[in-house]
Amino acid sequence: MEIAGYIIAVLIGLSLGLVGGGGSIITVPVLVYLLKVEPVLATMYSLFVVGCCSMIGSVRAYRKDLVDVPVVFVFGSASMLSVFIARHHLVPLLPNHFFTIGSFEVTKPVFLMLLFAVLMLLTSLSMIRNARRDQMSIVPKSHETRKMLPLFLQGVGVGIVTGLLGAGGGFLIIPALVLFGRLPMKTAVGSSLTIMTFSSLFGFFSTMGQYTIEWPFLVSFTAIAVAGIFIGMKLSDRISGASLRKGFGWFVFSLAILVLVHELVFPSK
């Protein structure tokens, strides 16, 4: 199972390198089910993995002038603020026991994994339905103004998701940057990776003192995922991003169903 976990770690980076998102959503399930990491700690580890992988992609995007700094500042500052609040206040406030239905007990780990499964379903459907966007180039018109307040509010929402579940939230960020930031798709992807870098790493390092981090394990897992993003970036110019996004969307959808079934039958401890 551990070998499978490390193999799938490559997919995390591969997805980020190829289509700019999606891979981070499978990090927590891989850590929990294949590598036996406790769910709350897995969300913490995921922040580090997602942040490091996104950083590689964002540097490449910046060199290609595909990062909009003003939009990143507005969205990213809101996201970082809400990540901090989520990790310092929301996660500790979650009760160890939510409720019991018959013999089924919804504990904190079960709640987080069920919530994660719902997020995975939403992510997969977004990737499947919007696969064609990879082939689109949305160019802002001169008379259109950027809607910074909706961008800021979206950043707050994405930050809460990132802080609670350790997911980068690229599937939420990219549509917001296109609709409210008036960014072309490729610039939205590059800016999204930059935002995920700052918010994820900020969330990790600002709360790492609350956890016992197994650095050798975390660094080795992250290194494998980073290798995947380099492979993905090499392949991105040769393979259709739309096809990959749709295929990966179905993979995430299947994984989400497995997570739901697993938590209902064999709930996390």
Walking along the chain (269 residues) 10 residues at a time, the average pLDDT comes out as 78 71 75 88 90 88 90 92 88 87 86 85 76 49 66 89 77 78 82 89 89 92 88 72 71 85 83
What is the per-residue pLDDT for 65?
92
Strand partners, 105: 100
pLDDT in tens, 141-190: 444 567 788 889 989 988 888 888 877 677 678 778 877 888 887 788 88
pLDDT recorded at residue 20: 61
What lies within 8 Å, CB to CB, of 163 at 6+ separation is: 82, 83, 84, 85, 86, 87, 90, 91, 203
From the CB of residue 133, how many other CB atoms can be counted at a distance below 10 Å?
20
Q: How far apart are the first and last CA of the chain?
A: 18
pLDDT at 240: 64
Q: Would you list the domain boundaries of the chain?
A: 2-265
CB-based contact 170:154 (threshold 8 Å): no
Put simply, whether the predicted model's pTM sits higher than 0.75 gets the answer yes
CB 163 within 8 A of CB 92: no
36: left (phi over 0), alpha (psi -120 to 50) or beta: left
